Structure formats: structure tokens, C-alpha cells
Amino acid sequence: METSRKLNQDILANENEGIQFVSIKEEVFQFNETVCNRVKCRDINLQETLSKDGWVTKFTEKVQNPDGLISFFNRFMDVDIDGTMNYQYQVTDEGETL
């Protein structure tokens, strides 16, 4: 299991896209630095498992319309989806839209 986790983390570290792995218990158990860079959550340990509430709070701290993004996350995790879902959001940093 630890070897698999290490391999996944190595793959994540080399990706330009933001990636998160979320467990069926709604915990983020792996993600890459790109995710944190995109939403400015600089104080998250990449090796830490975060509860749903913990990572949703961190992920939405620096976005415009955090309630909309939270609603998207909840729909995504609570509904059996056939197909794809998408949601666009804007990240802000000290009042500046990025």
C-alpha cells in the first residue's frame, strides 16, 4: 500500500494539472502542489489526510463565490453521476482576481 501511495505521489508531483484523490469517506488523501498553488492554500501538508470539511474550507478560502463551489463539491460527492460535471471558479489573492 505504501509503495502505491509513493508512486501516486510521484505521478502527482510531475503533473501540471491540479489533481486530488478523494476517498469514499470523502477525505482527500492525496493531492499535488498544483492544487494548492491554484487556490493559494499554502499551509497544507501534502502528506496529510484531510477531512471533507477541512479540505473544502481550505480549497474555497480564496475563491470568488465559495458557496457555489461548495455546492458543486457536495453535488459531486452526494449524487451518483452518469457523465461529467464541471464548474468554473475564480481564485482571488488579497482582493485581486487571478
pLDDT single digits (tens) 6-34: 777 777 666 677 777 777 777 777 777 78
C-alpha span between 80 and 91 (Å, rounded): 28
pLDDT single digits (tens) 38-71: 766 666 666 677 788 888 888 888 889 999 999 9
